[in-house]
Structure 1
Amino acid sequence: MPSERGSDKIAYGKHPDQYGVLALPDGKPLGLVVLIHGGFWTDSYGADLMEPIAADLRTRGYATWNLEYRRVGGDGGYPATLEDVAQGIDHVRHIDVDAPVTVIGHSAGGHLGVWAASRSERTPGGKPAVLAETTISLSGVLDLGSAAADGLGNGAVAAFLGSADPDEQQLADPIQLVPAHGSVVAVHARDDRTVPLSQSRSYVDADLAAGGAAGLVQVPGDHFALIDPSSAAWAKVLTQLG
C-alpha cells in the first residue's frame, strides 16, 4: 500500500465509521500521536471531540491520527469497536511518518487505548502490528468490572459488552490484561465526576503488580479539562510526551 501524507480523512476499513484523520505539522514530526475519543463507546460522540488537542499537538510539531470507530447505537460494541481500534492503530504502518508512536485516549477512549496496549493473539483484532511506545489514558475507564458495578455511564459498560460471555469480557477489560506493552500513563482529573480516580488507580496498581510500567498522574480540573488545550490539565498531559 502506498504511503499517505497530508491532512486527510483516510479509511482504514470499509465501514463509514472506519477512518482516521491524519494531519502533519510543518517540518519533520517529533512523533505520531494516535487520538481515540470517548463518549462511553456510544455514537452520540465522535472524533471531533479530539480535534482541539489534535490542532494543539500539530502546532507543537506532532503528527496526529485521530481515529473514528464503530460505536454502540450504530454497528459497534463488543467486538466490533475493539476490532476497529486495533485495525486503526495497525494502519499506522502505512503512514509515512518516521517517528515514535504515542496513543492518547480520553474516557472510553482511554479504555480503548490501554486495551490496545495489551493486545495479543487472543484479543479482538489479533496480535498487534503496531505498538505504541507510550499510551496515555485521560481519565480512562480501565476497570470494566468496577465501572459496571458503579453504574458508570448509566449502564454503558453493559451496552458496550452486549452478549459477550465472561471469557470475552475479560478480553475487553484492560485490568484483566496486565501488564501492558510499553509505558502506560494514567492521567486523571482530580475533580472528575464522570469517571472516578479509582479507575486509574486500580489499573496502575494491577499493572505494576504484574510487572508493568504504568504510572498515575493527577491533574487539576474536571473530566473535559483533559481535552481542553487551554487548561492546566492539558499542559500536564503534554509533559508526558516524549
Structure 2
Amino acid sequence: MPLDAAAEEASLFGHAPVAPDASAAYGEHPDQVVDFHLPRDPAAPAPLVVLFHGGAWRAPYDRHHLSPLAAHLAHRGLAVALAEYRRGAGAGGEAADASTSAAGRGGTETPSAGAAETAQEPQATARRGPAPGGEAGVGRDAAHARGAGRGDADASRAAQGPQAAEPRGGGGPHASPAGEPHREHPPGAQHLAGRHLAGRWPETFDDIAAVVDRVPRLVRELGLGGVDAGRIVLAGHSAGGHAALWAAARHRLPPGARWHLPAPPPLRGVVALAPIADLTAARALRVCSDAVDELLGDRLAARLPYADPAALLPTGVPTVLVQGGTDVDVPPQVADSFAAAGAVAGQPPRVVRIAAVGHFPLIDPATAAARTVADEIARLAEQDA
C-alpha cells in the first residue's frame, strides 16, 4: 500500500474506542443497537447526528472504529447516535440467522411496508459507559474492505427513478487477485476477499431504515433532554455514507417498496464521507472487492434500483459529499458519478474535495480533514429547516 495511505490507516487505528454515554436497542438482534455520544453541559439542546460506520457491509467491521469521531463531534457540541446494523455473513453463512435465508432469497422485491418490517419494537435501555468494544462486534477490528478496482465510471449517467434500467457491466479489468488481503482494515485483521460476504438483503436495509425512524423515540425514552431530535443530520463513512444517502431517499422509492416513506424524512441534511454513493459506478470500479454485487446478491438487477442512492435522485434533502482526493479505497470517481447524477436530476450536491487526503483521515479526529467534516455537519445542523 502507499506509504501515505499506510500512515493514515495507522493514525486512525491508533485511537482506542470511546465508550458511549448511553446505548439503546432498536430491535431484538444483537446488532440492532445505537450508541449515544453526548456533548458536555450544552447551553441548549444539541442537534443530533445519526452516524453510520463503513466496512463494506461485512460482518467483522463494526461501529467501534467510528467512536473516536463520534466523541470528537460530541466535543464540538453535537449529539451523536452511532448506529450498528446487520452486515454480511461469512462465506459459510455462520453469521446469518433464519430470517436471512427466508427474506433474502426468492419472494418479491417490493412487499408492503407494513408486512416487511423485520426489526422488533425497540427496548430502550440506558447503559452508561459500557466497556469499549461493546457487545455487538469486534471492537477495534472494524473498518472497511479495500476497493479493488481502478478506472473511470460513467459520470454522465442520467438520474433514473426507482424503475431504472438494468445495471451496467459487471466490473472493470483491474480487480485484485483472489485472496489478496484488503488494505482497509485494522492491523492484524486478515480479511481476505471472499471470506466475508457484504451485507444481508434485506436486513441491512431494514436496519438502516429502522435506525432513522426510531432514534427520535429512543432519545425520548432514554430521557436525553440535551438532545434536539428535531434537528437531525445523517452522516456516514464509506458504506455508511451509502446508508446515509439511501436513508434520505426513501420517499423516492415506489409506494409498494418495503422501505418507502410517503414524504421526505424530516432532516436538516446528509453529510456523506467517501461514500459508496453510486452503486453502478462502484461496481464498474469493483470497489471493495465487488462488495456491491455481494450486497445485492443473485437478484442484483432487480434490487439495484431500490438500493442505489444515485438512482433515487432528486431527494430534496440538502446533501454534502466530502471526498479525499487520493482515496484508493472508494475512489473519487464514485462521488463524482453521484454528483453528476444529481446535476442531471436538478439537485447537485455540495462536494468538498480535500486534496492529498485518502480514505481514513475523514474519520480520524487527529486530522484537519475530520475538522472539516465536523464543520460541514454543524453547518447543516444549524441551518433553517
2:276 aligned with 1:117: no
Match of 2:105 in 1: none
Return the offset for 1:173. Answer: 0.4
Structure 1: which 5+ residue stretches go unaligned? 1-5
Which amino acid is 2:29 matched to? H
Alpha-carbon separation, structure 1, partners of 2:340 and 2:353 = 15
2:362 aligned with 1:226: yes
Match of 1:53 in 2: 69
Find the residue that maps to 2:310 and give its secondary structure.
Answer: helix
Alpha-carbon separation, structure 1, partners of 2:302 and 2:74 = 40
Alpha-carbon separation, structure 2, partners of 1:69 and 1:83 = 9
2:88 aligned with 1:88: no
Match of 1:203 in 2: 338
Give deviations 1:172-209, integer Å, cap 9, x for gaps.
00111111231110110011010110111111121122
2:15 aligned with 1:15: no
Match of 2:107 in 1: none
Change (3 A) 1:130 1:178: closer
Contact 1:111-1:140 within 8 A present in 2 as well: yes
Which amino acid is 2:212 matched to? I
Structure 2: which 5+ residue stretches go unaligned? 1-19, 90-94, 97-198, 221-226, 380-385
Return the offset for 1:124. Answer: 4.2
Find the residue that maps to 2:298 and give its secondary structure.
Answer: coil
Match of 2:56 in 1: 40
Which amino acid is 1:145 matched to? T
TM-score, normalisation: structure 1: 0.91
Change (3 A) 1:100 1:69: same
Alpha-carbon separation, structure 1, partners of 2:300 and 2:340 = 26
Match of 2:137 in 1: none
Alpha-carbon separation, structure 1, partners of 2:264 and 2:328 = 36
Match of 1:3 in 2: none
Change (3 A) 1:29 1:60: farther
Alpha-carbon separation, structure 1, partners of 2:362 and 2:209 = 24
Change (3 A) 1:125 1:66: same
Give deviations 1:131-164, integer Å, cap 9, x for gaps.
4211011000111112112211112111111123
Find the residue that maps to 1:42 and give its secondary structure.
Answer: coil
Match of 2:297 in 1: 162
Contact 1:87-1:125 within 8 A present in 2 as well: no
Runs of 4+ in 1 over 6 A off after TM superposition: none
Contact 2:248-2:264 within 8 A present in 1 as well: no
Match of 1:105 in 2: 236
Find the residue that maps to 1:141 and give its secondary structure.
Answer: coil
Find the residue that maps to 1:137 and give its secondary structure.
Answer: strand
Alpha-carbon separation, structure 1, partners of 2:309 and 2:83 = 19
Q: Which has the larger share of strand?
A: 1
2:202 aligned with 1:79: yes
Return the offset for 1:89. Answer: 1.0
Q: Which moved more, 1:182-191 or 1:229-238?
A: 229-238
Pick the aligned partner of 1:171 from 278, 295, 306.
306
Contact 1:117-1:131 within 8 A present in 2 as well: no
Structure with higher Rg: it is 2
Q: CA RMSD in A?
A: 1.8
Q: Which moved more, 1:169-178 or 1:114-123?
A: 114-123
Find the residue that maps to 1:164 and give its secondary structure.
Answer: helix
Find the residue that maps to 1:182 and give its secondary structure.
Answer: coil
Q: Which moved more, 1:88-97 or 1:109-118?
A: 88-97
Find the residue that maps to 1:195 and give its secondary structure.
Answer: coil
Find the residue that maps to 2:64 and give its secondary structure.
Answer: helix
Which amino acid is 1:37 matched to? H
Return the offset for 1:92. Answer: 2.2
Contact 1:93-1:130 within 8 A present in 2 as well: no
Pick the aligned partner of 2:260 from 119, 123, 126.
126
Match of 2:373 in 1: 237
Contact 2:269-2:318 within 8 A present in 1 as well: yes
Which amino acid is 1:125 matched to? W
Aligned residue pairs total 237
Change (3 A) 1:139 1:151: same
Alpha-carbon separation, structure 2, partners of 1:213 and 1:22 = 32
Find the residue that maps to 1:140 and give its secondary structure.
Answer: coil
Match of 2:177 in 1: none
Which amino acid is 1:91 matched to? R
Alpha-carbon separation, structure 2, partners of 1:217 and 1:199 = 14
Change (3 A) 1:85 1:177: same
